[in-house]
Chain A
């Protein structure tokens, strides 16, 4: 099994290189990218099954022993993130091919997209804090290019603030790495897990907060989220879906990983994270309420739901972290689905402004159906997966007697329902309010290609499968949480043979 571990990173990088060579032929590029991402899905699923049965898989690139070499680790959390992210990357690529816009116009799309895939996978499987930085950069540089593909004025403007804020976060990360190395003499996460508890408690808390700051910028938590609703909506349609689904969740993953693995319980920032979570939820959903642009509304909404994941982590109990892990998986799938639907709406109506579009339930009933399921799920209505996740979070919160955050999360849940209701009544009910939209919808160009619809439908079906298999998935999340709260298992697996 261990030979499989580097594949989710190596394959996309190789694929990207081949795609650059095959820049002249879009067909070859498509076959390559689809083949690579499909293989990634298969490899990730195998890894997930093996890790769940046999425990953490470790491989040392180049054969150097643990603290020296490049350590790659797949535990339950990394495995489930790999599976979900590879499924989303594949579906969105199919959608982008169907859309015939950026993917068809730019030879750079496929290679850069594969680099993004490699960066996302590398962030999940790296066992080394410095390589986490490198993986982040790989992912971010790819995202800079994808965000500004086309170079329209709006993209350039928001691209600049996105690049600058990401660079500042990276600088903070380097600073944190320097300080951590100076204090401990290692950047291997397993070794850090052994050495950080020996440091003075003030230093531990400092590192903990510094890493929360670094990953919080990437995850888009309050008050560091301001770049997110500004930049995401300007990206090409399919790309926004992948950013919304995956990139912020990589930040959340890094927060979960660093807090549980690196720091002993008394340096874990439970209270700080709870406060951040509360504000993130409220500010995100209130921001979403004010918007008029569908994708902007959904972008603010991501921020709000990042709060739920942080809330689950902040409890530092098995129930809380299990709920957070389940929520991350649910949110990646459902949010990607919603953004893909937003792309369909824009294609069909020629605009994604709530004030212009209307009556899609009659003119495009399929899009309405595809929107309804993920919208109900994200609002947390039973029996959808959002309900399972929120129920888990709320009951974990009640067990830990953190009443304030429980109340906030329930209130935000209601507001989410209102946001989704507003989208439904403005976009799908009523009549189109703009003559241009009416005119556009009668042209042939407004017909949605079947590939886009089927890719969206596939993601919506996946979100429904999360509901059907919520039981097994939830018990997997509980096993993940148990593993995360016992970092010695991770340390043992990585350093075991050597020490």
Chain B
């Protein structure tokens, strides 16, 4: 059982990591979900072998499964759920703005890099240059 869970966690981590490295936000989101599940399964298995439900009086204490990791996993599931919902809303907002779900480059960063290579840009064309930098990066 624990071996199976360990393999499940490893599989989730592997696929999740691959998805996280993609450029599209929808894939990143699924990736975060998978990696999150992987770590939750890991948390669950950290309590050792499974046993009966830990209710005092229902069984001898040695047969209980460790309730703490379950509580921790539950907390972390709730947190991941909330944050994923926020990220979805953010992604929707981004889609409304750009009509695309590719995570864009840091425009200012590109601009600074370009400015260094082209040496000098006069101040009133700066905005134009910045917009152009953004446009070229999107293509």
Residues of A within 8 A of B (CB): 130, 133-134, 137, 141, 144-145, 148, 151, 153-154, 156-161, 163-164, 167-168, 170-171, 174-175, 177-179, 181-182, 187, 230, 233, 290-293, 296, 353, 355-356, 433-434
A356 to B40, CA, bound (A): 50
Instruction: Collect the chain B residues with CB atoms within 8 Å of residue A161's CB.
Output: 103, 106
CB distance from A144 to the nearest CB of B (A): 6
Give the contacting residue for B86; candidates A134, A144, A230, A434; CB below 8 A. A144
A293 and B28 alpha carbons, distance in the complex (Å): 30
Contact sample, A vs B, 24 pairs, CB 8 Å cutoff: A134-B79, A137-B79, A141-B79, A144-B90, A153-B98, A157-B104, A158-B106, A159-B90, A160-B90, A164-B28, A164-B32, A167-B32, A167-B87, A170-B80, A174-B42, A181-B46, A182-B48, A291-B112, A292-B112, A296-B108, A355-B123, A356-B123, A433-B123, A434-B123
B43, A171: Cβ atoms under 8 Å? no
Which residues of the partner chain B approach A151 to less than 8 Å between Cβ atoms?
Answer: 93
Contact residues in B for A154 (Cβ distance below 8 Å): 107
Give Cα A170 to B91, complex, Å.
Answer: 20
A160 / chain B contacts, CB cutoff of 8 Å: 25, 87, 90-91, 94, 103
Pair B123/A156 contact, Cβ less than 8 Å: no
Contact B43 A178 (CB under 8 A): yes
In the complex, chain B residues whose CB is within 8 Å of the CB of A134: 75, 79
Q: Would A181 and B69 count as touching, CB distance under 8 A? A: yes
Interface of chain A, helix or strand or loop or mixed? Answer: helix
A178–B39 CB distance below 8 A: yes
Contacts of B103 in A (CB 8 A): 157, 160-161, 164
Docked Cα-Cα span, A293 to B112, in Å, equals 10
Q: Are B90 and A171 in contact (CB under 8 A)?
A: no
B94 and A290 form a contact (CB under 8 A): no
Give the residues in chain A near B43, CB-CB below 8 Å: 174, 177-178, 181
Complex Cα distance, B82 from A156, in Å, reads: 18
Contact: B109 with A178, CB < 8 Å?
Answer: no
B76 an interface residue at 8 Å Cβ cutoff?
yes
* Interface assignment of B97: CB less than 8 Å from any CB of chain A: yes
Closest to A293 in B: B108
Known: A163-B83, A163-B87, A168-B20. A157 touches B72 (CB 8 A): no
**Bound: A160/B25 CA distance, A:** 9
List A contacts of B116 (CB < 8 A). 290
- Whole-angstrom distance from the CB of B51 to the nearest CB of chain A? 15
> By the criterion CB–CB under 8 Å, are B46 and A178 in contact?
yes
- Shortest A183–chain B CB gap in Å is 8
Does B63 have its Cβ within 8 Å of any Cβ on chain A? no
Q: Which of B45, B46, B75, B94 has the most CB of A within 10 A?
A: B46
C-alpha gap A158/B87 in the complex (Å): 12
Nearest CB of A to B37, in Å = 10
Nearest-neighbour CB distance to chain A for B21, whole angstroms, equals 11
Nearest-neighbor residue (CB-CB) of A68 within chain B: B68
Within 8 A of A (CB), among B63-88: 68-69, 72, 75-76, 79-80, 82-83, 86-87
User: Assuming A141-B82, A167-B87, is B42 touching A156 (CB within 8 A)?
Assistant: no
Q: In angstroms, how far is the closest chain A Cβ from the Cβ of B14?
A: 14
Give the residues in chain A near B112, CB-CB below 8 Å.
Answer: 290-292
Chain B residue with Cβ nearest A161: B103
Binary contact track B85-129/A, C-beta < 8 Å → 1, others 0: 011001101100110000110111100100110000001101000
A163-B90 contact in complex given A178-B42, A179-B46, A181-B46, C-beta closer than 8 Å: yes
List residues of chain A with CB within 8 A of the CB of B80: 167, 170
**What's the minimum C-beta distance from A444 to chain B, rounded to whole angstroms?**
25
The CA-CA distance from A157 to B109 in the complex, in Å, is: 13
Distance in angstroms from B95 CB to nearest chain A CB is 10
Contacts of B48 in A (CB 8 A): 182
Instruction: Please tell me if the beta carbons of A175 and B42 are within 8 angstroms of each other in the complex.
Output: yes
Report the Cα distance A293→B115, complex, angstroms: 13
A274 and B35 CA atoms in complex are apart in Å by: 31
Known: A177-B43, A230-B106. A141 touches B94 (CB 8 A): no
A153 CA to B79 CA in the complex, in Å? 26
* Assembly CA distance A171 to B69 (angstroms): 15
Highest count of chain A CB atoms <10 Å: which of B20, B25, B39, B104: B39
